[in-house]
Amino acid sequence: MGSRNPDYCDTVPNWHEHKTLGQLKKAGFQIRSWCKKCGHDQVEDIDRLIELRGTEGVPWDCYRRCEFRGCGGRAVFKARATIGGSFHRLSRNWSGL
């Protein structure tokens, strides 16, 4: 704490600390989804996700149906904590997907 340069502070979403949508929102994460089939990438409204899944909803290792041009593929969730930071996939098991 305090020793990190804020310009390089890229908070990675953590399964233990940011498991639920409520925790992600509280920590200020932005959510996007990325379709593995068509590559469509879109911003997700975290408030809407909470409306649908509740604050205890867990987006990790989870898919949503891609609605882009009737694609129907599986889209994974990504999150980032800071503007200009990188999005990190909400998956505990990268290699298995």
The one segment of 14-22, 34-42, 48-56, 89-97 that binds Zn ion by CB under 5 A = 34-42
CB of 65 to Zn ion, least distance (A): 9
Q: Is 65 in the site for Zn ion (CB under 5 A)?
A: no
Nearer to Zn ion, 38 or 62 (CB): 38
- By CB under 5 A, the count of residues binding Zn ion is 8
| CB-based contact 41:89 (threshold 8 Å) | no
| CB-based contact 33:64 (threshold 8 Å) | yes
Contacts of 86 (CB under 8 A, 6+ apart): 10, 80
